[in-house]
Amino acid sequence: MKINYEILKKSPLFNGISTTELQSMLACLSATHKSYKKDEFIFYSGDTINQVGMVLSGGVHILKEDFWGNRTIIAKIEPGDMFGETYACVKSIPIEVSVLCSENTDILFMDINKIMETCDSKCGFHYKLIQNLLFVFAQKNLMLTKKMSHTTQRSTREKLLSYLSAESIAHNSHSFKIPFNRQQLADYLSVDRSAMSNELSKLQKEGILTYEKNHFTLID
């Protein structure tokens, strides 16, 4: 497989870095890539990892499973976005989440220590890279806070409306597609799938929204 540099150049981590810089950079970061099938795990909760991953194509879910097998999707990572970067800064603690491919996926792995450490003067890009990494962290913080604003709603209905109205605003349209199927949406909002389906029906009957599969329309 050939690496698609366009995806990398569009990624937040490599923002503002040229293709030639990128090539030497990848060597310096000991970058490797690997393909995964849908439903394959990349990391398991409890693993100690020393690489960050970037999704080149496909997508992965960051998820948390409890003792009883209830699964919560913390985040959906799309091409260009990263996972595992927290452990680049807080070393040697086992991860508390698992990473699962939601479809066939290509991952670029990079050595986390190489990003953090100032290496030889020949690599002048570290400062830019670290600034980009700061931005990535800030975005991830916002994402976590946003998700929390949905899940902390008290009822399933409120959780749904909180999520859907945020999606509507993000898409700048009353009509939009969501990146989850029903079970995944339920996992994301931390509710029971059938109860959520039921609530969606009610919302549709009450004329608050309409939907067909994962295409939703909010009604004034």
List the interface residues with DNA, window 67-126 (CB under 7 A): none
List of residues 6+ apart from 167 with CB closer than 8 A: 176, 178, 216
* CB closer to its own copies out of 40 and 96: 96
> CB 1 → DNA: shortest distance, Å?
21
Considering only 57, 104, 214, 217, the residue that binds DNA (CB under 7 A) is 214
For residue 5, give Cα distances in angstroms to 43, 63, 108, 175, 215.
25, 28, 11, 33, 32
Residue given tokens 């994402």 in the structure block: 143
**Type of residue numbered 63:** L
* CB closer to DNA out of 25 and 191: 191
Angle formed by the axes of helices 193-205 and 182-189, nearest 10°:
100
Nearest Cα neighbor of 22 from 5, 45, 1 is 5
140 three-class SS: helix
* CB closer to DNA out of 139 and 194: 194
* CB closer to its own copies out of 24 and 155: 155
Only segment of 7-15, 41-49, 93-101, 197-205 that touches DNA (CB under 7 A): 197-205
Considering only 138, 169, 195, 219, the residue that binds DNA (CB under 7 A) is 195
Please report, as ranges, the residues that interact with DNA according to CB under 7 A.
Answer: 154-157, 181-183, 190-201, 211, 213-214
